[in-house]
């Protein structure tokens, strides 16, 4: 597996977290790979063979070659049917809302063809430009030209959403929403409403996912002997709380995660 990340242009760095590419040669022995929620929305372009996304143990759909991957609230499995060659834009939690007028709660746990958002003609032209480009750098330039053209300055993220997300990112999701809002119930209702439209999931769900990201990095990079150490380092109330959240978003326990061949791709993203 060859996974690379690239920084965005300075005009987009507040909205785009990074671009990434993934190349994986086909191997008939490849296993299904579990993808876990990461709190981000992504726009992906598949330049290789089609990719299965499982909707049950044995049933699957084929992902669109050019799509938006909405916020995730649960893990899911994918399996390439051939060579993988993908380039993608990873947006900050509030990043993608600047490019569309659709409420992002409609995208949760779904893959949406970009043609449904930007129109068939525009989507086809963009996809063809990406396919015909000579390399990664040219593809990034094409994507950035598209994003800057589409950037809707009239669509502004509410201050309460941006400040909340910034705090969650800065503290790895460990700060409670009540603390951020100083127990103001009216602000809590306002925040919930704006989050559904501009992020797609609730503040509490995003907080859990962001903390999970930090936990996965700790788990993979340090491999501590005791789960209690990971729980307290990432400010979970106790080990049981940590395991409960982990299973909610990953589907297995932390111990089962390490060395699991179905988690090889997810592990690659966090190393």
Kindly report, residue by residue over 248-263, the tens digit of the pLDDT. 888 888 878 776 777 7
Give the residue from 26, 138, 34, 136 showing the smallest Cα distance to 83.
Answer: 26
The CATH architecture of the domain made up of 2-150 is: Sandwich (2.60)
Question: What integer pLDDT is reported at residue 223 of this predicted model?
Answer: 65
Element (H, E) at 175: none
Which tens digits make up the pLDDT trace of 42-86? 999 999 999 999 999 899 999 999 999 999 999 999 999 999 999
Which tens digits make up the pLDDT trace of 124-145? 999 999 999 999 999 999 999 9
Q: 152 pLDDT exceeds 70?
A: no
Which tens digits make up the pLDDT trace of 158-209? 788 889 999 999 998 888 888 888 877 788 888 888 898 899 999 999 999 9
Domain parsing of the chain, residue ranges:
2-150, 159-270
Please, what is the average pLDDT of the chain? Answer: 88
CATH of domain 159-270: 1.10.10.60
Rounded Cα gap, residues 67 and 87, in angstroms: 11
Question: What integer pLDDT is reported at residue 88 of this predicted model?
Answer: 97
Rounded Cα gap, residues 34 and 122, in angstroms: 32
DSSP 200-263: SS-HHHHHHHHHHHHHHHHHHHH--S-HHHHHHHTT-SSHHHHHHHHHHHHSS-HHHHTT-GGG
Confidence class for position 232, pLDDT limits 50, 70, 90: confident
Q: Percent of the chain scored above 70 by pLDDT?
A: 94
155 alpha carbon, distance to own chain's centre: 21
Give 56's strand partners: none
Question: What integer pLDDT is reported at residue 180 of this predicted model?
Answer: 86
Q: Report residue 218 as tokens.
A: 């700790």
Residues 265/1, Cβ–Cβ less than 8 Å: yes
User: Degrees (nearest 5) of the Cα angle 77, 2, 4?
Assistant: 100
Question: What integer pLDDT is reported at residue 139 of this predicted model?
Answer: 97
Question: What integer pLDDT is reported at residue 156 of this predicted model?
Answer: 59
């Amino acid at each position: 597996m060859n996974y690379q990340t690239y920084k965005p242009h300075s005009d987009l760095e507040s909205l785009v977290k990074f671009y990434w590419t993934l190349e994986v040669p086909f191997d008939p022995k490849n296993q299904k790979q579990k993808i876990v929620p990461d709190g981000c929305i992504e726009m992906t372009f598949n330049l290789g063979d089609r990719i299965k996304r499982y909707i049950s143990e044995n049933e699957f759909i084929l992902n669109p070659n050019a799509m938006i991957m909405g916020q995730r609230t649960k893990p899911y499995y994918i399996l390439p049917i051939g060579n993988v060659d993908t380039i993608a834009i990873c947006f900050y939690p509030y990043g993608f809302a600047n490019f569309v007028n659709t409420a992002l709660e409609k995208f949760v746990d779904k893959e949406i063809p970009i043609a449904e958002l930007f129109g068939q003609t525009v989507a086809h032209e963009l996809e063809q430009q990406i396919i015909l480009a000579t390399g990664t750098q040219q593809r990034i330039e094409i994507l950035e030209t598209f994003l800057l053209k589409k950037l809707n300055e009239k669509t502004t993220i509410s201050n309460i959403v941006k400040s909340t997300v910034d705090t969650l990112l800065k503290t790895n999701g460990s700060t409670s929403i009540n603390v951020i809002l100083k127990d103001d119930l009216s602000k809590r209702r306002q925040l919930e409403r704006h989050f559904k439209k501009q992020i797609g999931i609730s503040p509490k769900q995003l907080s859990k996912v962001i903390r999970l990201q930090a936990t996965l990095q700790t788990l993979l990079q340090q491999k501590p002997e005791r789960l209690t150490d990971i729980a307290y380092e990432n400010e979970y109330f106790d080990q049981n709380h940590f395991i409960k959240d982990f299973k909610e978003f990953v589907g297995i326990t932390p111990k089962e995660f390490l060395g699991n061949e179905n988690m090889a791709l997810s592990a690659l993203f966090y190393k």
